[in-house]
């Protein structure tokens, strides 16, 4: 039988460690995402695609800001991460595919956060799942238009 003391002393601490690791995993991509979206906006075939990509990176900025502040609330410091190397995609299509695969992974990480975070913070993270799913649909829309026009 798990007592409330055991939960507060052990389970909550384990959850906190996992939460902090997930947040770091997500925010480490901040600078490379910024570069990738900016690069793809330059490659965009039309103004609609450019506006959609811009709207997505604006959502990403809110997510990164919020996650870094949740981390700060939980630890007293902001996350320190090493950003991965930015690799320039060969084409708009390749860059969008890269983002789609990353977003599929990030949705799963956000779901974990919703379950592991204290409820007061989970309510801030849940809308990010909707954002990411919406972004994936918009990216698919762009890909379909690109393939249709070729």
Tens of pLDDT, residue by residue over 27-53, are 999 999 999 999 999 999 999 999 999
- The pLDDT of residue 143 is 95
Architecture of domain 4-149: Up-down Bundle (1.20)
The pTM score is 0.89
Residue 108 pLDDT grade (very low, low, confident, very high; cuts 50, 70, 90):
very high
- The pLDDT of residue 56 is 97
Percentage, residues of the chain above pLDDT 70: 92
DSSP SS3 for 122: helix
Q: How far apart are CA 146 and CA 150, in angstroms?
A: 6
Q: What distance lies between CA 103 and its chain's CA centroid? A: 7
| pLDDT of 2 higher than 70 | no
The structural domains of the chain, with segments of one domain joined by +, span 4-149
| pLDDT of 3 higher than 60 | no
Q: How far apart are CA 95 and CA 101, in angstroms?
A: 10
18 and 116 Cβ atoms separated by less than 8 Å? yes
| pLDDT of 113 higher than 80 | yes
Over range 90-111, report the average pLDDT. 96
- The pLDDT of residue 7 is 47
DSSP SS3 for 76: coil
Q: What distance lies between CA 52 and its chain's CA centroid? A: 16
- The pLDDT of residue 112 is 95
């Amino acid at each position: 039988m798990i007592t409330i003391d055991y939960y507060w002393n052990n389970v909550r601490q384990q959850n906190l460690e996992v939460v902090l690791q997930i947040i770091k995993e997500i925010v480490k991509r901040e600078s490379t995402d910024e570069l990738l979206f900016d690069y793809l906006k330059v490659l965009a075939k039309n103004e609609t695609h450019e506006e959609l990509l811009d709207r997505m990176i604006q959502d990403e900025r809110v997510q990164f800001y919020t996650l870094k502040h949740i981390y700060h609330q939980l630890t007293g410091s902001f996350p320190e991460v090493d950003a991965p190397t930015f690799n320039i995609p060969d084409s708009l299509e390749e860059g969008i595919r890269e983002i789609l695969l990353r977003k599929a992974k990030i949705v799963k990480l956000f779901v974990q956060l919703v379950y592991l975070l204290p409820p007061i913070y989970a309510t801030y993270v849940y809308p990010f799942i909707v954002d990411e799913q919406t972004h994936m649909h918009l990216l698919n829309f762009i890909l379909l238009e690109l393939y249709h026009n070729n």
